Amino acid sequence: MTIDQKHNDYITLTLKGFFGVILPFTNKIRIPYSAINQVLTDTVKIDKTRTIKFIGVSMGNRNIGIFYVVGKGKVFYAFYRKNRCITLKLKNNFKYKEVIVEVEDKERVAQDITRHLQKNNLI
């Protein structure tokens, strides 16, 4: 997963490797900064009893695709290691309630996104 923060109005998430092969139709997601409510780095916890897979793979620790979580709404997952993820909690007007993706340096990525949101008075 790569995260491109070069544009001032949105983040582009690009699925690479295994993730990109599984979801070739959704290999890029563009999220406007204005749609982000919160950025978290907590270890991901999935309640399998409340999660329904729409499109994707949920096998072992691999969770890639679009899911519906009862009581939350539609979420996008792209991760293998739960402790290397950032969670973007999104506003109601965006198509997902959360986007949870694995990144190389979750603390740095989360700080970069949060810094951009604060600088532009979006949170």
Q: According to the model, what pLDDT value does residue 39 have? A: 96
The domain ranges of the chain are 34-119
**95 or 121, greater pLDDT:** 95
Strand partners, 85: 102
Distance between the two ends of the chain, CA-based, in angstroms? 25
pLDDT at 40: 97
- Per-residue pLDDT for 104 more than 60? yes
* Helix, strand or coil, per DSSP, at residue 72: coil
pLDDT in tens, 63-98: 888 899 999 999 999 898 999 999 999 998 899 999
Cα distance between residue 72 and residue 62, in whole Å: 21
pLDDT one-digit tens code per residue, 18-39 = 555 555 556 788 999 999 999 9
- Residue 18 sits at φ, ψ, to 5 deg, of -55, -40
- For the chain, the average pLDDT equals 87
Q: Which amino acid is at 42?
A: D
